[in-house]
Amino acid sequence: MHISLPVALAAAVTVALASSATSATIPRDGSWAGGEATVFCTEGNDCDAFENQGYTVIRNRTPRATTYQLILRCQSREFGTRYDVAFAGKNPTRGRAIPARGVLRVTSDQADTGLSGRVASVTATFNFARGGLPQLQLRAAVNSTTEACTGRADIPLRRGPLPRR
Residue 16 is assigned to a structural domain of this protein: no
The rounded percent of the chain whose pLDDT value lies above 90 is 48
Residue 144 is assigned to a structural domain of this protein: yes
Number of domains in the chain: 1
Residue 137 is assigned to a structural domain of this protein: yes
Question: 111-124, pLDDT tens digit by residue?
Answer: 998 878 899 999 99
| Distance from C-alpha of 64 to C-alpha of 67, rounded to nearest angstrom | 9
Q: How confident is the model at residue 18 (pLDDT cuts 50, 70, 90)?
A: very low
- Would you call 146 helix, strand, or coil by DSSP? coil
Contact 79, 147 (CB under 8 A): no
Residue 10 is assigned to a structural domain of this protein: no
- Would you call 153 helix, strand, or coil by DSSP? strand
The boundaries of the domain holding residue 75 are 27-160
Residue 152 is assigned to a structural domain of this protein: yes
CA distances from 109 to 87, 93, 112, 124, 142 (A): 13, 11, 10, 11, 10
Query: CA angle at residue 86 from 145 to 153, to 5 degrees?
Result: 100
Q: What is the mean pLDDT of the chain?
A: 80
Mean pLDDT of 157-161: 84
DSSP state, residue 18: H
* Res 121: pLDDT: 95
Neighbours of 37 (CB within 10 A): 8
Q: Is the pLDDT of residue 151 over 90?
A: yes
| Distance from C-alpha of 34 to C-alpha of 159, rounded to nearest angstrom | 9
Residue 20 is assigned to a structural domain of this protein: no
DSSP state, residue 4: H
Residue 62 is assigned to a structural domain of this protein: yes
Question: 122-134, pLDDT tens digit by residue?
Answer: 999 999 887 668 9
Query: CA angle at residue 87 from 162 to 144, to 5 degrees?
Result: 145
Q: Is the pLDDT of residue 43 over 90?
A: no
Residue 149 is assigned to a structural domain of this protein: yes
Q: What share of the chain is helix, strand, coil (3-state, %, to 5)?
A: 10, 55, 35
